[in-house]
Structure 1
């Protein structure tokens, strides 16, 4: 048996170069080939999910989806092209590279080729109460504090679970179509983005019930979108925000849709143009009253760089 500790941090990241993964805690874990040990995690391995403070739960990998030939956007230091830079608390420029010590206000967006892995583990998930990261690190096979995926001593994992009276996750088999899927509630310790509701309310007051890209839309379907990455800038400025329909917001955040700052028209990634519902949005004029066009330009430049 092999065992791994997997870091799941949601929106907050220690270094700002990685734009994050679409994990679903208690169900799936997404990682890629830029992560150390990415190609070593296998079906049947035991995994312990953790954030930066505590272990969240334990499970056994039921299967791994592999997607080759993809690219991801990484934010890098403009000088040394490394991802290890941090946001400064109050000083200016906003960022400091931990490698070359360059200070800068805007990270550079680059595309890197990747293989993406999605590990599924939902049917064997068990919470782990009261286990700190320090305790988890004590049963690791190395003492790195930076690795998102770290190998654990499987015998000591078994001992820890026995001490906590948590069963070792069984080898799983896919449920039959008639089986009931797991349901219920769990307690999570997460870093919560604050101010989002007030940000959305301010945008609704400014723009009304209108998606900036698709037009009039029920308020219930509208979300407040940031033109600049919130994880990097941690800023709810309304001049850098727009209201978007929920599905459009998801595509916009992933760089598959953007607004040309010169024409103020919608531009789509080539991969999105094959879907008729979205293809019809290409070239559509947008509503950008009260929006900082420099923020629009930054989003457009980062998104368009991924389409080449």
Structure 2
């Protein structure tokens, strides 16, 4: 039986225990820490489905869970000292405690070392925005009335609900059914977690927001796509630069972004045309890109970065 996790991803409104929030990129990773119930129960191989209370956003299979540590500021009600309060956008005082009902402008705060977790699920991500409503997602949880941000569910129930909405591609996740008879004997696969130092890309959400403003919901190479399927792709190695350069990025579909980073899709600076690796020509999706023009207007700065990308991946030493 495969476990699925229904996790809340509500952007800037995501809160837990009155903290400063989390750096999420739903189509790639989901972050939490050990102040969150069920924090240590997710594992590689589980399905993760992200929703925002109103609708399902998408899902993928967890390939890895990274763990690390940091010191976090936790906020609490100054009256009852509980962390269960809500920040209000329009009413004053700004905060309302869900436990004691107190209203206050500024919460109390304290720092605490926490263990951090981040799921990696981008390789199998499927945009499913709107296929299920918020109430439908909630009903799939093992405990539908739960208010937790991370709720366990059965993958089979989630899969069947998506198939009922004609959710094409659900079977492609490759989640195997439990074997029976002689096939039931399998070699155990090691599980658990590993400790890792995780670098967070500061400014990434703002970088992506600017690209959406500049180009709309359009993959620069393949055309219009749902926002959940688009990633903010740097045209250079962010690990080396550690800067979000002006006009140094384009929106690319998840799979195209991965292939671009590997140099298997690139733009020839001499012709301005997209070229794909010979290995990809056997796939119609990518073969159709070969020899085509990018589908967004490129500035000179884009062309400079794309030329450098071409040289680093396509120019033989």
The alpha-carbon distance between structure 1 residues 90 and 10, as it changes in their structure 2 partners (threshold 3 A), is: closer
Q: Secondary structure at the match of 1:6?
A: strand
> What residue is the counterpart of 2:271 in the other structure?
none
The alpha-carbon distance between structure 1 residues 16 and 39, as it changes in their structure 2 partners (threshold 3 A), is: closer
The alpha-carbon distance between structure 1 residues 144 and 72, as it changes in their structure 2 partners (threshold 3 A), is: farther
> What residue is the counterpart of 1:30 in the other structure?
31
> What residue is the counterpart of 1:19 in the other structure?
20
Q: Which moved more, 1:133-142 or 1:9-18?
A: 9-18
Q: Please report the TM-score for the alignment, with normalisation by the length of structure 2.
A: 0.52
Q: Secondary structure at the match of 2:174?
A: coil
Supply the distance in 1 between the matched residues of 2:45 and 2:97 (Cα, whole angstroms). Answer: 39
> What residue is the counterpart of 2:76 in the other structure?
76
1:105 offset after TM fit, Å?
A: 1.2
> What residue is the counterpart of 1:165 in the other structure?
168
Choose the corresponding residue for 2:226, options 187, 190, 205: 187
1:188 offset after TM fit, Å?
A: 4.0
Preserved CA contact (<8 Å) 2:19 2:72? no
> What residue is the counterpart of 2:115 in the other structure?
115
> What residue is the counterpart of 1:124 in the other structure?
124
Supply the distance in 2 between the matched residues of 1:133 and 1:46 (Cα, whole angstroms). Answer: 18
The alpha-carbon distance between structure 1 residues 166 and 47, as it changes in their structure 2 partners (threshold 3 A), is: same
Q: Deviation string for 1:200-246 (max 9, x for gaps)?
A: xxxxxxxxxxxxxxxxxxx959xxxxxxxxxxxxxxxxxxxxxxxxx
Preserved CA contact (<8 Å) 1:92 1:105? yes
> What residue is the counterpart of 1:174 in the other structure?
none
1:54 offset after TM fit, Å?
A: 0.5
Preserved CA contact (<8 Å) 1:6 1:47? yes
After TM superposition, the structure 1 = structure 2 runs for residues 275-290 of structure 1, keeping only pairs within 5 Å, are none
Give the aligned CA root-mean-square deviation in angstroms.
Answer: 2.8
1:80 offset after TM fit, Å?
A: 1.8
> What residue is the counterpart of 1:5 in the other structure?
6
Q: Deviation string for 1:257-283 (max 9, x for gaps)?
A: xxxxxxxxxxxxxxxxxxxxxxxxxxx
Runs of 4+ in 1 over 4 A off after TM superposition: 88-91, 183-186
Supply the distance in 2 between the matched residues of 1:35 and 1:186 (Cα, whole angstroms). Answer: 33
Supply the distance in 2 between the matched residues of 1:147 and 1:186 (Cα, whole angstroms). Answer: 31
Q: Which moved more, 1:2-11 or 1:145-154?
A: 145-154
Supply the distance in 2 between the matched residues of 1:220 and 1:153 (Cα, whole angstroms). Answer: 44
1:170 offset after TM fit, Å?
A: 3.2
The alpha-carbon distance between structure 1 residues 30 and 14, as it changes in their structure 2 partners (threshold 3 A), is: closer
Q: Secondary structure at the match of 2:53?
A: coil
The answer for unaligned runs of 5 or more in structure 2 is: 176-220, 229-244, 248-317
> What residue is the counterpart of 1:139 in the other structure?
140
- How many residues are aligned here? 182
After TM superposition, the structure 1 = structure 2 runs for residues 181-220 of structure 1, keeping only pairs within 5 Å, are 186-188=225-227
Preserved CA contact (<8 Å) 2:24 2:31? yes
